[in-house]
């Protein structure tokens, strides 16, 4: 087999690891809670990367199984940071599943992503503020366009992932209708169960992720079903939307705050090496939570006709426009779909005995 040394240089652009220092001692595999007889985490991936087996890595689902507990990095005697290597592989795979090439461009040029996000936010906000029509109606149309755009992006990613991991090997479309596989996929998707596989479960991280994920999913439901009309209705404590909005905002703000704090302190392996796009992702989530909550509280206090409610709502929708167009399809947000999808495809591979 011809060794391709360029590959490791390419993956290195996605994260701060140094697997060229690895001397194959096996400590990482021994401590990894995911290592089983048939899968050697993370050493198998390290070996593929060292020899430049790009196809093997792109057809692998293992990088999505790893929840970055960091135990492998803690025990590595060579500071090769195998946990960060697995994280970098996930970033690399996102860029490979993305047919537009934008994910790769943003990973390599995070400044461009920041400028685009700020630019789209400002242009949207200026347009919204100067808009003379019924803004509530316009917001409804924008919120209807969000799911169509995101579904298209998810379809592109999921199809490429399916093609690289299943279709290219089987040469035919295969699916699993096995109940236990579907159940496991849903449980992983809803609870991110693998977090609890670490020898010492990092409950803070798990709860922060769960809060952000549930809060954001609720925000999506509220927005896509257009449940909020802050410029038309006056909301009170007894409205059904009140607990929904408060929970969604609390989940995003509290979870986002914990995530940012941990990235800032860099005390645990999973927060040591933040990619600039990680910061933008958490900061934008945080802003969505705050602007949604502010709009709602202002509406409760001042009514739907107040100027402050309109301004806050326009800021909120402008943030969401930038978030949906740039962050959702082209950064790690999309990984919330890859993880459960990887579980499904992994079990499908086993069921159909695909190597």
Which residues lie near ligand SF4 (CB under 6 A)?
A: 22-28, 31-32, 34, 41-43, 46, 66-72, 76-78, 80, 82-83, 86
DSSP classification of residue 21: G
Task: Output the smallest distance, CB 38 to ligand SF4, in A.
Answer: 15
Q: Of 26 and 119, which CB lies nearer to ligand SF4 in the complex structure?
A: 26
Angstrom distance (rounded) from CA 212 to CA 286: 9
Query: How near is the Cβ of 73 to ligand SF4 at its closest, in Å?
Result: 7
Calculate the alpha carbon distances from 121 to 72, 126, 248, 314 in Å. Answer: 40, 9, 22, 10
Nearest CB to ligand SF4, comparing residues 27 and 241: 27
Cα gap 118→49, rounded to integer Å: 36
Report the distance separating Cα 219 and Cα 147, nearest Å: 12
Burial 114-152 (b: 16+ CB within 10 A, else e): bebbeebbeebbeebeeeeeebbeebeebbeebeeebee
- Shortest reach from residue 177's CB to ligand SF4, in Å: 29
Measured from the CB atom, the residue of 71 and 143 that comes closer to ligand SF4 is 71
State in angstroms the smallest separation of the CB of 348 from ligand SF4: 21
> For residues 206 and 235, which CB has a smaller minimum distance to ligand SF4 in the complex?
206
Q: Return the HEC string of 141-209.
A: HHHHHHHHHHHHHHHHHHHHHHHHHHHHHHCCCCCCCCHHHHHHHHHHHHHCHHHHHCCCCCHHHHHHH
Question: Whole-number minimum distance, CB 45 to ligand SF4, in Å?
Answer: 8
Q: How far is the CB of 25 from ligand SF4 (least distance, A)?
A: 4
Comparison of 77 and 119: residue with beta carbon closer to ligand SF4: 77
Using alpha carbons, select from 299, 16, 260 the residue that is nearest to residue 136: 299
Closer residue to ligand SF4 (CB): 27 or 176: 27
Gap between the Cα atoms of 134 and 127, Å rounded? 13
Q: Using CA atoms, how far apart are residues 248 and 293, in angstroms rounded to an integer?
A: 9
CB of 131 to ligand SF4, least distance (A): 48
Between 270 and 331, name the residue whose CB sits nearer to ligand SF4: 270
Nearer to ligand SF4, 50 or 110 (CB): 50
Least distance CB 110 / ligand SF4 (angstroms): 23
Backbone angles phi, psi at 99, to 5 degrees: -70, -20
Specify the 3-state DSSP secondary structure of 338. Answer: helix
């Amino acid at each position: 087999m011809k060794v391709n040394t360029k590959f490791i240089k390419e993956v290195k652009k996605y994260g701060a690891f140094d697997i060229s220092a690895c001397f194959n001692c096996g400590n990482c595999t021994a401590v990894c809670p995911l290592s089983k007889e048939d899968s050697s985490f993370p050493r198998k991936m390290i070996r593929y990367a060292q020899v430049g087996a790009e196809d093997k890595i792109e057809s692998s689902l293992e990088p999505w199984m790893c929840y970055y507990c960091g135990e492998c990095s803690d025990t590595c005697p060579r500071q090769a940071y195998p946990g960060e290597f697995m994280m970098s592989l996930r970033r690399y795979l996102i860029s490979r599943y993305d047919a537009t090439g934008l994910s790769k461009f943003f990973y390599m040029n995070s400044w461009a992503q920041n400028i685009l996000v700020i630019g789209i936010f400002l242009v949207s906000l200026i347009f919204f503020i100067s808009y003379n029509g019924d803004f509530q109606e316009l917001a409804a149309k924008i919120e209807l366009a969000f799911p169509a755009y995101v579904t298209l992006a998810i379809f592109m990613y999921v199809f490429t992932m399916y093609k690289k991991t299943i279709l290219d090997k089987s040469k035919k479309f295969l699916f699993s209708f096995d109940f236990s596989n579907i159940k496991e996929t849903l449980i992983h998707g809803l609870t991110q169960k693998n977090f609890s596989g670490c020898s010492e479960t990092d409950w803070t991280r798990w709860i922060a992720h769960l809060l952000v994920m549930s809060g954001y999913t609720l925000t999506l439901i509220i927005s896509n079903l257009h449940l909020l009309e802050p410029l038309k209705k006056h909301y009170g404590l007894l409205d059904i939307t009140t607990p929904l909005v408060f929970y969604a905002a609390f989940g995003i703000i509290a979870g986002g705050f914990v995530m940012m704090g941990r990235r800032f302190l860099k005390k645990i392996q999973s927060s040591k090496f933040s990619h600039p796009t990680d910061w933008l992702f958490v900061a934008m989530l945080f802003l969505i939570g705050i602007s949604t909550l502010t709009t709602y509280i202002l509406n409760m206090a001042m009514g739907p006709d107040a100027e402050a409610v309109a301004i806050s709502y326009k800021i909120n929708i402008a943030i969401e426009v930038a978030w949906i167009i740039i962050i959702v399809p082209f950064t790690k947000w999309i990984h919330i779909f890859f993880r459960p999808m990887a579980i499904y495809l992994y079990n499908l591979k086993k069921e159909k005995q695909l190597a």
